Amino acid sequence: MPKFAANLTMLFNDVDFLDRFGAAASAGFKGVEYLFPYDWAASDLRTRLDDNGLTQVLHNLPAGDWAAGERGFACHPGRVDDFKAGVDKAVGYATALGCTQLNCLAGIQPTGIDAAAARETLLANLAYAAPILKSAGIRLLIEPINTRDIPGFFLNGTVQAAAILGDVGSSNLFIQHDLYHMQVMEGDLAPTMEAYLPCISHIQIADTPGRHEPGTGEINYPFLFERMDVLGYDRWVGCEYKPATTTEAGLGWIKPYLS
């Protein structure tokens, strides 16, 4: 059975960030993830994890100026030095937090850079990062993201992600498979998940439309959770959704899976 992690960037967002760890534990979660840890001291985050008996499941490599609209820069030819510096920073945080997965956001394809050049840059950056993370005991992930929420995002499909894994050729590169994003871009969630399961190291969920909790939209999550179980997926599932009202009010869907 998969294990569920609370995404603290989105859930329990009516309390201060550091207090969300306790809120997640009180709700029954055993793991947490969030976009970025870099605004806080690693020691403070580690204390919150330890005090609440939580596992740090995942966070992202540095992704640029988020408030200004950057969504990663791994495909940007002019940002290779920034990418390499970000790898070092992320590994330091992940090691301190006991986090064994880091997600690399490919970024929006830069204006004036064709797709071939962006892809070659992404491949080179991933080939650089994968062995560094492996030596630290950390998996490197890439995530396809839908182009409705992030127009121009370079990596936007499962087949595209799998081809990148093949071309990089590293044993330490995997897919972060967000079912919300892939429902928007592809549909056919269960067969795709099954076909690419050996490449998938982490799954994230939200319903669509609205990106709210499971049960609020069109995705049949009970069916998909059962399929994960049948397929032997026993890794983490990150709950990366926007609560329709409050986090607590919308947690009814998960209670059978946390018991």
From the list 33, 70, 120, 143, the catalytic residue is: 143
| Angle, CA 117 vertex, CA 86 and CA 109 arms, to 5° | 65
Q: How far is it, in rounded angstroms, from Cα 201 to Cα 139?
A: 8
pLDDT of residue 259: 66
Contact 246/14 with Cβ under 8 angstroms?
yes
The Cα–Cα gap between 172 and 110 comes to 27
**Alpha helix (H) residue ranges in 70-149:** 80-97, 115-135
Inform me whether the pLDDT recorded for 1 exceeds 80.
no
Q: Taking 90 as the threshold, does the pLDDT of residue 131 lie above it?
A: yes
Q: What is residue 201's predicted lDDT score, i.e. its pLDDT? A: 98
240 counts as catalytic = yes
120 is catalytic: no
Contacts 24+ apart (CB under 8 A), 224-232: 224/179, 224/189, 224/190, 224/193, 225/1, 225/2, 225/257, 227/190, 227/193, 227/194, 228/1, 228/2, 228/193, 228/203, 229/1, 229/2, 231/193, 231/194, 231/197
Instruction: Write down the domain spans for the chain.
Output: 3-258
Q: Tens of pLDDT along 24-52?
A: 999 999 999 999 999 999 999 999 999 99
Angle at 228 between CA 226 and CA 233, to 5 degrees: 145
Q: What is the pLDDT of residues 69-123, one digit of tens each?
A: 999 999 999 999 999 999 999 999 999 999 999 999 999 999 999 999 999 999 9
Please compute the mean of the pLDDT values over residues 217-229 and round it to a whole number: 97
Q: Between the CA atoms of 173, 240, 41 and 104, what dihedral angle is there, to the nearest 10 degrees?
A: 20
Indicate which residue of 33, 70, 186, 240 is catalytic. 240
Q: Does residue 250 contact residue 10 with C-beta atoms inside 8 Å?
A: no
Q: What percent of the chain has pLDDT over 70?
A: 100
Distances (CA, A) of 65 to 70, 106, 178, 214: 5, 14, 23, 30
Tens of pLDDT, residues 228-244:
999 999 999 999 999 99
Paired strand residues for 5? 31, 238
Considering the domain 3-258 in this protein, what is its CATH number? 3.20.20.150
Distance between CA atoms of residues 169 and 149, nearest Å: 30
Beta strand pairing status for 236-239 and 55-60? unpaired
